[in-house]
Amino acid sequence: MKNDLRPIKFLKGGIFVASLLPLAWLAGQFLFGDLGANPIQKALHCTGDWALNFLLITLTITPLRRLTGWEWLSKLRRMMGLFAFCYAFLHFMIYIGLDQFFSWDAMVKDFVVHPRLIVGLLSFILLIPPTITSSTRMIVRLGIKRWQWVHRPIYLAAIGGVIHYFWLVKRDIQRPLIYAAILGILLAYRVVMWVVNRLRARPSAL
Amino acid sequence: MLVKREPDIKSSEITDKALYINRRQFIISTAALVGFGLQVPEFLYSSEERPRQKLAATIRGKYTVDEKTTSYKNATNYNNFYEFSTRKEDIEALTKNFRPRPWTVLVDGHVKKSKKYDVDELIKMFSLEERISRFRCVEAWSMVVPWLGFPMADFIKRVEPISKAKYVEFTTLHDPSQMPGQRSRILDWPYVEGLRMDEAAHPLTFLAVGMYDEVLPNQNGAPIRLVVPWKYGFKSIKSIVRIRFLEQMPTTSWVKAIPREYGFYANVNPKVDHPRWSQARERRLGEFRKRKTKIFNGYADQVAHLYTGMDLRKFY
């Protein structure tokens, strides 16, 4: 048993460090003044990209585990989800503190007129309950059914994140399209599995 | 990343090295020629890759603004030039092999001196002026650029449009072999921009052939570009090959692409937001805090009269 878990621990450690690399890169570039002509925007885009990347990685873990039978993958899901939240949080903080420099009235005006920002904020808020309840203790406390229910908003957050990106770009929608396509596949998988499970659960209905 | 992409430039399209070296020779000889007209030449080589040619103005324009200019690095590293790529920081590298000479500018339409001008012949017709002006992108970033060039009004006087000419249409080079971005259909190429005749003839409207005391870098629209400082940057069309005088308002590229978001006038206006982002403030490249955007990009005293009686919300 112990021998089984050790490689997973190493893997987890490695992936933890790797997940910090975008942040380290950003911090390094920032310190050396290497973020280009519009550094704040670059930091915004980088953290936004990685929030979305980690969200999609999180949503990939279950299908991948089912398809490959690699049960150990489930050990990584929580960490990926937490990184998604961390990068989304950084993204939001950079927006408030650096991009807008705490001009609250300007931000309010911005939000009222631009649905893109509202969608982004809602997606971030939707990530808060799953983050708070991510610990094993919380699973026990809430019970698996309720816990699952608290974690469903992740799907909505991912959809919102992709829309938030889509509405940002002026004309070249290639990258948001890639995100949308991947998310579409991941969601379609859930729908198919749900239908299959329904049918299996009630064989008499067939 | 996830999707395999075709390499941007096929090996068959990369310019032969001999030709490339000749090109440099060509630029030098052309510049020497131009030098007679502009009392230039002194060459600066920042690197082996790109010869940077000095260019000197004979006039310091009265329309110049007294503001700190954006660093050369920022102004040449952060460019919207969809003909090459939609990624602003890739443009500098992608324009390295762009050939801004030989170059012609076709002047046609309702104009007496309709002709295909060699760009150097065209430049020699005017005395070079240095003019520092603000540049505000629709994406809410801005710069202050010391341009070199001549007023569009002087050009218009020389080519003598007839009274039928109510608009001026500008066209960018269409050459997918040199401009890899034109191989994707992001916009309907070639890029077209336009001005109303009175806007084109306004003393603030400028045709730039250089900046920062140098020949215009490729990524900034070599060899000749428009500068309309009170309008969003996309009006200031780059690498112009045609200037046409028209009776009807031309359909410009961004209006054609997304009419709901872009209008013909595109005057800088903090009160009229782009549907997806605010125009109330902007970030000057190199600055930390955003600053408030001014109506007509701070040129209201000079240009507001052009639009009296017009609803700027409707004619955005």
Strand partners, B45: B51
Is B257's Cβ below 8 Å from some Cβ in A? yes
pLDDT tier for residue B9 given thresholds of 50, 70 and 90? low
Give the pLDDT of residue B34.
Answer: 42
The whole-number pLDDT of residue B153 equals 97
The predicted-structure confidence for B237-273, as pLDDT tens digits, reads as follows: 999 999 999 999 999 999 999 998 999 999 999 999 8
Taking 3-state DSSP, the helix, strand and coil percentages for chain B, each rounded to the nearest 5, stand at 25, 25, 50
A170 touches chain B (CB under 8 A): yes
| Among B residues 54-93, those touching chain A with beta carbons less than 8 Å apart | 73-74, 77-78, 82, 86, 88-89
Nearest chain A CA: its distance from B278 CA (Å):
6
Band of residue B8 on the pLDDT scale cut at 50, 70, 90: low
Contacts of B89 in chain A (CB under 8 A): 36-37
pLDDT tens per residue, range B26-76: 444 444 444 433 433 334 333 445 568 889 888 887 899 999 999 999 999
Highest-scoring range by mean pLDDT, A134-138, B230-234, B310-314: B230-234
**Chain B residue with minimum CA distance to A168:** B276
At A170 the pLDDT is: 80
A67 burial level (CB within 10 Å; 0-12, 13-18, 19+): exposed
Give B53's strand partners: B43
In chain B, the residue whose alpha carbon lies closest to the alpha carbon of A177 is: B3
Closest CA to B173 of B101, B262, B256: B101
A113–B290 C-beta distance less than 8 A? no
Minimum distance, in Å, between the CA of residue A85 and any CA atom of chain B = 23
Only one residue has tokens 């072999």, namely B177
What ipTM is given for this predicted complex? 0.83
For chain A, domain boundaries? 2-205
Going by C-beta distance under 8 Å and a sequence separation of 6 or more, which residues neighbour residue B25? Answer: none
Are B128 and B122 within 8 A, CB to CB? no
What count of CB pairs under 8 Å joins A to B? Answer: 58
What 3-state DSSP class applies to A72? helix
Q: Do B283 and A116 make contact, defined as CB atoms within 8 angstroms?
A: no
Residues of A in contact with B276 (CB under 8 A): 114, 116, 167-168
The answer to whether A113 contacts chain B (CB < 8 Å) is: yes
B133: distance to nearest CA of chain A, Å? 18
pLDDT at B22 exceeding the cut of 60: no
CB distance B281–A37 less than 8 Å? no
Q: Which residues of A touch B141 (CB under 8 A)?
A: 38, 41
Q: Cβ atoms within 10 A of the Cβ of A47, count?
A: 23
Select the residue from B70, B92, B276 to test the A interface by mutation, using most A Cβ atoms within 10 A.
Answer: B276
Q: Which amino acid is at B248?
A: Q
Contacts of B313 in chain A (CB under 8 A): none
Chain A contact for B139, CB < 8 A?
yes
Point out the least confidently predicted range of A133-137, B81-85, B290-294. A133-137
Name chain A contacts of B281, Cβ cutoff 8 Å: 106
Q: Which amino acid is at A189?
A: Y
Determine the topology of domain B59-307 in CATH. Sulfite Oxidase; Chain A, domain 2 (3.90.420)
Q: What mean pLDDT comes out for the span A43-54?
A: 96
Instruction: Judge contact between B197 and B267, C-beta under 8 A.
Output: no
Spatial contact of B264 and B246, defined as CB atoms under 8 Å apart? no
- Under the phi-then-psi rule, with left for phi > 0, alpha for psi from -120 to 50, and beta for the rest, what region is B295? beta
Structural tokens at position A49: 């990209």
Q: Distance from A93 to chain B by nearest Cα, in Å?
A: 15
Higher model confidence: residue B279 or residue B48?
Answer: B279
What is the rounded average pLDDT of the residues B274-300? 92
What pTM value is reported for the model? 0.83
What pLDDT, in 10s, does the model give residues B115-142? 999 999 999 999 999 999 999 999 999 9
